[in-house]
Amino acid sequence: MHEKLMKAFSEQINKEYYSAFLYLAMSNWLNQEGLPGAANWNYVQYQEELAHAENLFRYLQYRDIPVTLMNIEKPEDTWTSVLDVFKQVLAHEKTVTASINNLTSVSMEVHDHAARIFLEWYVSEQVEEEANASDLIQKYSMAGDNPNALLMLDEQLAARTFVAPVVPGVGN
Ligand SMILES: [Fe+2]
Ligand SMILES: [Fe+2]
């Protein structure tokens, strides 16, 4: 694999682990605020981010490419409201989308067609991540300060469960 692409993969792995850490911090904060459903949603997202990182890692291993692990930045840990949390989720996912798009562009630049095809899953996943965050921002904006609406939303988010994503191209 081209050096430039290897480096971009390593940086993406680091970003996915940072994402996991950020969602874990959000889950912790929401629990402290008495919102166990929203905390659960963010905890499931934490698990998803670990899977995103692990599948990138497994892909490189499958191709026998050395993986460089880097320091994980400390995530922010204070927010003003559950709406504020999900606004940051969307802003964060937009930066991840830009990063995945850049990684894909590098794979095209160095003509690594296999890597480009592998990354398609991640490109589509980012569309889902941004759509989920936008949807939650809309719902929490509508709920405003209405305790009944907030409680109902929290119960909805409590139902989210982790389903390990199946990312094609990582071997068995
Ligand atoms: Fe991710
Ligand atoms: Fe997702």
Domains of the chain: 3-67+77-158 (1.20.1260.10)
The answer, yes or no, to whether residue 172 has pLDDT greater than 80, is: no
Position 58 confidence tier, pLDDT thresholds 50, 70, 90: very high
For the entire predicted model, the pTM comes to 0.96
Say how many Å lie between the CA of residue 45 and the centre of ligand 1. 9
CA distance 19 to 116: 22
Q: Which ligand is nearest to the CA of 132?
A: 2
Which pLDDT score, from 0 to 100, does residue 71 have? 97
The answer, yes or no, to whether residue 146 has pLDDT greater than 90, is: yes
Say how many Å lie between the CA of residue 26 and the centre of ligand 2. 16
pLDDT in tens, 83-121: 999 999 999 999 999 999 999 999 999 999 999 999 999
Say how many Å lie between the CA of residue 121 and the centre of ligand 2. 11
Compute the C-alpha angle 132/59/10, nearest 5°. 80
Six token digits for residue 162: 């982790």
Compute the C-alpha angle 92/28/89, nearest 5°. 15
The H or E element spanning position 32 is: helix 3-32
Say how many Å lie between the CA of residue 70 and the centre of ligand 2. 23
Mean pLDDT of 8-20: 98
Contacts of 123 (CB under 8 A, 6+ apart): 100, 101, 104
Q: Which ligand is nearest to the CA of 46?
A: 1
